[in-house]
């Protein structure tokens, strides 16, 4: 039986300016996700984990930690954008609408620039503008970031699955 290779992400040669990648998955943020992430990251702003406090704010309920929003939306784009690379930097991050526990986030990234790397000829630099939207279509986060991406011929992702030992 032949082994069928699964999706291994995009390589530098696969990116074209203007391409838009929409992640096929959505991710619902739970109250537990929000509280755990907030406490793990030592964020002491009670608006993320204290409902009694949050009801006294303009939002009337706890907000999802913005760093969690960024992490989830960026993670949703990994398979299309950075699975074969690593982040170089973030140009900006905007949070135009709040995220609440129970919201489902989706990720859409547009390729803004594609260029060869001057210092690493086996890689190139891809800049994307990513929008995270909730289940109602409201943009909850937007950012631009640059990613160093492997050219396919040089990528370290080659035959990582170990061959099963036959007894």
Rounded to an integer, the average pLDDT of 12-41 is 96
pLDDT value of position 126: 98
Give the global pTM: 0.91
pLDDT value of position 158: 63
What is the Cα–Cα distance from 32 to 55, expressed in whole angstroms?
Answer: 18
CA atoms 110, 74, 80, 105: torsion sign: negative
pLDDT value of position 44: 93
Whether the CB-CB separation of 122 and 23 falls below 8 Å is answered with: no
Tens-place pLDDT, residues 83-104: 999 999 999 999 999 999 999 9
Residue 69 CA, distance from chain mean position: 9
Confidence of residue 166 (pLDDT cuts 50, 70, 90): confident
Q: Which two tokens stand for residue 139?
A: 């943009």
What is the Cα–Cα distance from 84 to 15, expressed in whole angstroms?
Answer: 12
Rounded to an integer, the average pLDDT of 106-117 is 97
pLDDT value of position 99: 98
| Pairing state between β 123-134 and 139-150 | antiparallel
Residue 156 CA, distance from chain mean position: 21
Query: What's the mean pLDDT when you consider all of the chain?
Result: 94
- Distance set, CA 1 to CA 4, 111, 119 (Å): 9, 38, 43
pLDDT value of position 160: 73
CATH topology of domain 12-154: Thiol Ester Dehydrase; Chain A (3.10.129)
pLDDT value of position 157: 67
pLDDT at 143 over 70: yes
What is the Cα–Cα distance from 22 to 7, expressed in whole angstroms?
Answer: 15
Q: Where are the domains of the chain?
A: 12-154
| Residue in this structure with the two tokens 């943009």, named with its chain if needed | 139
pLDDT at 6 over 80: no
> Of 73, 163, 147, whose CA–CA distance to 114 is shortest?
147
Rounded to an integer, the average pLDDT of 45-74 is 97
């Amino acid at each position: 039986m032949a082994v069928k290779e699964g999706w291994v992400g995009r390589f530098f040669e696969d990116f074209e300016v203007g391409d838009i990648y929409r992640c096929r998955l959505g991710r619902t943020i739970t109250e537990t996700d929000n509280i755990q992430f907030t406490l793990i990251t030592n964020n002491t702003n009670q608006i993320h984990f204290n409902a009694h406090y949050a009801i006294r704010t303009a939002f009337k309920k706890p907000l999802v930690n913005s760093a969690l929003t960024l992490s989830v939306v960026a993670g949703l784009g990994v398979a299309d954008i950075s699975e074969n690379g690593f982040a170089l930097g973030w140009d900006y991050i905007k949070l135009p609408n709040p995220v609440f526990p129970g919201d489902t986030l989706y990720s859409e990234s547009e390729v803004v620039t594609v260029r060869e790397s001057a210092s690493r000829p086996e890689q190139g630099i891809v800049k994307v503008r990513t929008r995270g939207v909730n289940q109602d279509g409201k943009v909850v986060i937007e950012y631009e970031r640059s990613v160093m991406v492997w050219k396919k011929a040089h990528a370290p992702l080659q035959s990582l699955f170990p061959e099963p030992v036959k007894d």
